């Protein structure tokens, strides 16, 4: 009988414990302060940089973990510490992945290091895709990129929204329309270098949760960038657009291209699921500790089935969510196709679990849980984002239903 194990190896346990120590000793003591301030926690990010936790090298090592568990383990522990601070630490990775996935070797070598900076001069990056009228519906994107033949520059105009680190980042990666007639196949990604005229921060959002993470609009007004800031290069873009136009003329819908793009999104969703697992686990653990120490009518409140059964359900749901995340992460690394939309399943279940478990934690703490003196209130506010970003729960259910049925469900 073949070997099967869910045990972490020594290296994975060591990394997990290292991150957990940082989350417990550095992030948690500062979480309430930065939540109230609603500002980017630069000192915490710098501390992460000092120990190598905020660096491309570290995330690359976790990404190439052959089991696929490096990234989920990292995300769970960081978001166990605090979701807002954690998102400030990992937000740059969204832009870095955009460059790594689409850029040339020269572009990767030039721009990714500038996204992180160094220990003495920490930098951030922002990935700008969503727009005021184009969230889940990326086909409605309006930001335009036009090539100026005379100068060899690209000119970008439009407004992006919900950009993590938007406006305060050193490097912005912007998705824009280069050929409106081709829909989503007419999109391309661009690097906007530091200090480029015409890029400015628009509205900074005052959010319900994850308030230590900076989220804002990014306004692009006649932003001129060198031609080599088009990720992948113009020759590759022209070839891709030519193929898309030929398919359009021949009546080929390009379904295979659409499926490949969906596979990319599917592979990224377990990481968000792992974030949700971290927040849910934190709330469960706090509620368990509170229930064993809090006495009512002369005995700990966990002696009451109404409380004990809630905790039993909370732990079961957290563990089930983690297993779905691990399965999808392993499948993505092993190159197994998500024939049942396993990536979306993990994100859907974990995000809904985080909302439910954090609400149950508040209920167990009673009036105390409703105050900012106890962290479960913040955890509950933070958990709401997981069912919204990287595809809402409704979008996940749509993806799963379409995958299972093969029907164009709307």
- Inter-residue contact 400 to 345 (CB < 8 Å): yes
- Tell me whether strands 125-128 and 171-177 are parallel, antiparallel or unpaired: parallel
Q: Residue 43 contacts by C-beta under 8 Å, 6 or more apart in sequence?
A: 30
Strand stretches in 165-315, DSSP E: 171-177, 187-192, 199-204, 215-226, 295-296, 299-300
| Residue 123: alpha-carbon gap to chain centroid | 18
User: Which tokens is 38 given?
Assistant: 């609603």
Residues 369, 282, 37: CA angle, nearest 5 degrees: 65
Closest to 125 in 3D by CA, of 37, 62, 218, 207? 218
- Inter-residue contact 129 to 97 (CB < 8 Å): no
237 vs 254: CA distance, rounded Å: 16
150 vs 152: CA distance, rounded Å: 6
Closest to 105 in 3D by CA, of 257, 242, 228, 263? 228
Give me the half-sphere count of Cα atoms (radius 13 Å) on the Cβ side of residue 182: 23
Q: What is the largest CA-CA distance in the chain?
A: 82
198 vs 196: CA distance, rounded Å: 6
Catalytic site residue 390? Answer: yes
User: Which tokens is 129 given?
Assistant: 């895709």
Q: Residue 297 contacts by C-beta under 8 Å, 6 or more apart in sequence?
A: none
| Residue 164: alpha-carbon gap to chain centroid | 10
User: Which tokens is 391 given?
Assistant: 């595809």
312 vs 119: CA distance, rounded Å: 43
User: Which tokens is 335 given?
Assistant: 């190159």
The active-site residue out of 131, 266, 377, 390 is: 390
- Active site members: 390
């Amino acid at each position: 009988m073949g070997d099967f194990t869910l045990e972490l190896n020594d290296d994975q346990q060591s990394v997990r414990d290292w991150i957990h120590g940082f989350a417990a000793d550095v992030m948690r003591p500062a979480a309430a302060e930065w939540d109230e301030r609603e500002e980017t926690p630069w000192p915490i990010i710098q501390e992460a940089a000092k120990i190598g936790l905020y660096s491309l090298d570290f995330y690359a090592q976790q990404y190439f973990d052959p089991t696929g568990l490096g990234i989920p383990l990292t995300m769970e522990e960081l978001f166990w510490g605090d979701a807002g601070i954690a998102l400030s630490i990992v937000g740059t990775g969204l832009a870095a992945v955009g460059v790594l996935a689409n850029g040339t070797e020269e572009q990767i070598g030039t721009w990714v290091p500038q996204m992180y900076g160094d220990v003495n001069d920490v930098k951030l990056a922002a990935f700008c895709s969503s727009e005021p009228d184009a969230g889940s519906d990326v086909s409605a994107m309006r930001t335009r990129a036009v090539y100026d033949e005379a100068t060899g520059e690209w000119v970008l105009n439009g407004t992006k929204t919900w950009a993590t680190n938007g406006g305060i980042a050193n490097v912005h990666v912007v998705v824009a329309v280069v050929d409106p007639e081709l829909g989503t196949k007419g999109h391309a990604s661009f690097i906007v270098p530091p200090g480029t005229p015409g890029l400015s921060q628009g509205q900074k959002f005052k959010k319900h949760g994850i308030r230590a993470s900076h989220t804002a609009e990014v306004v692009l007004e006649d932003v001129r960038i060198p031609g080599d800031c088009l990720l992948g290069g113009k020759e590759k873009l022209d070839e891709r657009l030519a193929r898309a136009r030929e398919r359009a003329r021949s009546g080929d819908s390009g379904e295979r291209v659409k499926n490949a793009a969906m596979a990319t999104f599917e592979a990224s969703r377990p990481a968000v699921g792992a974030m949700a697992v971290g927040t849910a686990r934190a709330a469960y653990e706090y509620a368990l500790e509170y229930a064993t120490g809090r006495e009512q009518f002369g005995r700990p409140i966990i002696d009451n089935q109404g409380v004990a059964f809630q905790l039993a359900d909370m732990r079961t749901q957290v563990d089930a969510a983690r297993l779905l995340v691990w399965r999808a992460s392993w499948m993505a690394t092993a190159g197994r196709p998500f024939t049942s939309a396993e990536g979306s399943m993990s994100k859907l279940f974990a995000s809904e679990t985080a909302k439910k478990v954090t609400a149950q934690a508040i209920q167990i703490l009673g009036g105390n849980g409703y105050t900012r003196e106890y962290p479960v209130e913040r955890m509950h506010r933070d958990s709401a984002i997981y069912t919204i970003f990287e595809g809402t729960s409704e979008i996940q259910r749509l993806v799963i239903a379409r995958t299972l049925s093969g029907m164009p469900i709307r």
